[in-house]
Amino acid sequence: MTTSALDIQQLSINTIRTLSMDAVQQANSGHPGTPMALAPVAYALWTNHLKYDPQHPQWAARDRFVLSAGHASMLLYSILHLGGVQNIDESGLPTGELAISLQSIKDFRQLHSPCAGHPEFGEAAGIETTTGPLGQGIANSVGMAISGKWLSARYDRDDYELFGFNVYALCGDGDIMEGVACEAASLAGHLKLSNLCWIYDDNKITIEGSTDLAFSENVGARFESLGWRVVKVADANDVDAINAALGKFKETVDRPTLIIVRSVIGYGAPNKAGTHDAHGSPLGEDEIKLTKEAYGWPDEKFLVPAEVKEHFAATLGESGKAAYAVWSEKYDLYQRAFPSETKELQALFHRKLPEGWEDALPVFETDAKGTATRNSSGKVINAIASRIPWFIGGSADLAGSTKTIINDEDAGHFSADCYGGRNFHFGIREHAMAAIANGMCLSGIRAYCATFFVFTDYMRPSMRLSGLMHLAPIYVLTHDSIGLGEDGPTHQPVEHLAACRAIPRLQVMRPGDANEVSMAYRSALSCNDLPTAMVLTRQNAPTLDRTKYASAEGVLKGGYVLLDSEGTPDVILIGTGSELQLCCEAAETLAGNGIKARIVSLPCWELFERQPESYRHDVLPPKLTARVAIEAGVKQGWERYLGNEGVFIGLDGFGASAPFEKLYEYFGITAHAVVDAATKLVKQ
């Protein structure tokens, strides 16, 4: 095949299509239709518009491309292969190997292939985020666009413009229907994120059939009302129109852009039914043969004409190389002119923290009355922010309640008029907030976001993906139990600790006093590849006397012996959060009754389980089976630490509306209950 038979543009587009068809067919699994229909869109974007160097796929100033319609993953894998995107080593340097080899494409959807059914961040360079649950990718893209604006505002200088990258996200009807997408789009429009472009594949079909079954809104009108510019392309095969639409995005300076592209899914030769339905299943060998004939394509699998790779190298490769060279020269000059800012950027680029940052963590004095752990959290956040300028975040309309405002006079509030602000206001959009925080972390920011713990029900999909992607956002989650009191059971989380602990890799921290809060943040920030749920109280918790009790540094191991008895203990009392104080009260009563109790603080199960078995057995000796755990939540999960003989004191249903003291008494979550349970265990 030569370019005389088919111009290089069409040849490149058809290469994307045939690679996608062949990979899906070989796997006998996947979605060929969207990659086929949107091949011209991806081609136009990557060869003519994307500021991206395939040799440096982690370049901080690169444009980002997010395939939010993750079921069309073969579209991304084909582009990464044809574009020659290089894999990188642990230090971020190119290895000389393709991120997506032709063999990887042949192994599509197979075990250990980087070409998974939906793009997964970290599996290969060029995959900017994990997509699959619809709406997540475009919500992540808002966080990426925010990061571009923030980095520019904070670090660009006159004649030294290093950032301001654009973010492109390709999405479909499923993305646009999801609630998280509307939340994210609403905030993006409000913030006037002019560096954000969503390309919406308006193919009018979902898995069940035509979108007319459940979707009839005017998407363009909705987005215009949300503050977006809307540009329409009547035919996804019209590359000139696509280029013109992308040009309109790049000239827009006061709002994000939605490009609505009309496509016919599974573009190619019609199947036996005379339709183009190739959404969720392989085409079949006969259909592929007919389609390739329509393209004028040889009956050969996984064909990549040499001139197509040469074309991508001459377009994407050369433009990316030139842009990177210009940026590198400018950055070299920047480093000499602004050494302190450079030091910060180097740490940010490599997901590191400033040396000695932890020295700023406060140590709290003993206080029998104590304070709510949300209050001590607020003080710790401000201490951290004073040392880590890119530690930024905010809440879902609850800054005052979650104590998440950075009070430094230079902090400011992020807005369309202040893109350098460190305090964010996400509005009442918990799901989008968590997804946006993921996008910020994907751009190097150490982001936190906050709401009441009960609303993790809305955040869970994004929290789960942060664990899957090895990201490290901190979720500041206050009002952690029935202890919030009068708002009642709608706001009182009971099963949420168990639900969050079930998410792999999510560190659920429930500190018991102010100094445990400080150490919990130290643990969370010291790890750059694990998300943390910081679960905090509304009611006061005494600040323990650390001359009597063990150092709060035990939190760094997830669990520790807070106070031991003289000699071998008779019983172990285990507590977290606000219930830790009840263990302390109970231990004193038990000692007066001649029963020796060991108190174990267990604020983070996930972290504790990563410790050596020898340490875990030192804290919880297997032979000491008389154990009582107390926590203002459901029992689920505690069996791991209580065994068959242990007793759990907590909840087995929802809470109620009343002052928290009365609720704890009513539900039997008291020191007296711990004493009774421990006494029975020892005497049986």
Residues with catalytic function: 430
Write out the H or E segment, with its range, that includes residue 496. Answer: helix 496-501
**At CA 457, angle to CA 454 and CA 463, rounded to 5?**
110
How far is it, in rounded angstroms, from Cα 566 to Cα 550?
Answer: 14
Are 501 and 605 in contact by the 8 Å Cβ rule? The answer is yes
How far is it, in rounded angstroms, from Cα 541 to Cα 118?
Answer: 45
Query: Which two structure tokens, joined as six digits, stand for 199?
Result: 């390309």
Please state, in angstroms and as integers, the Cα–Cα distance from residue 301 to each residue in 2, 116, 510, 571, following that order: 17, 20, 55, 68
Q: Is 277 exposed, middle or buried (0-12, 13-18, 19+ CB in 10 A)?
A: middle
Alpha-helix runs per DSSP H in 33-169: 33-48, 73-82, 102-106, 136-155
What is the DSSP code string of 235-255? Answer: -TT-HHHHHHHHHHHHH--SS
How far is it, in rounded angstroms, from Cα 530 to Cα 463?
Answer: 11
Q: How far apart are the first and last CA of the chain?
A: 85
How far is it, in rounded angstroms, from Cα 62 to Cα 56?
Answer: 9
Region of 239 (left: φ > 0; alpha: ψ -120 to 50; beta: rest) is alpha
Please state, in angstroms and as integers, the Cα–Cα distance from residue 422 to each residue in 167, 239, 407, following that order: 21, 40, 10
Length of the chain: 684
Q: Kindly report the backbone phi and psi dihedral angles of residue 627, in degrees, each rounded to the nearest multiple of 5, phi listed first.
A: -140, 145
Please state, in angstroms and as integers, the Cα–Cα distance from residue 241 to each residue in 76, 137, 198, 248, following that order: 21, 25, 16, 11
Write out the H or E segment, with its range, that includes residue 187. Answer: helix 179-191
Q: Is 548 exposed, middle or buried (0-12, 13-18, 19+ CB in 10 A)?
A: exposed
How far is it, in rounded angstroms, from Cα 400 to Cα 385?
Answer: 17
Task: List, in sequence order, every residue forming a beta bridge with 423; answer none if it has no partner.
Answer: 393, 413
How far is it, in rounded angstroms, from Cα 627 to Cα 609?
Answer: 18
Contacts of residue 336, Cβ cutoff 8 Å, sequence gap at least 6: none
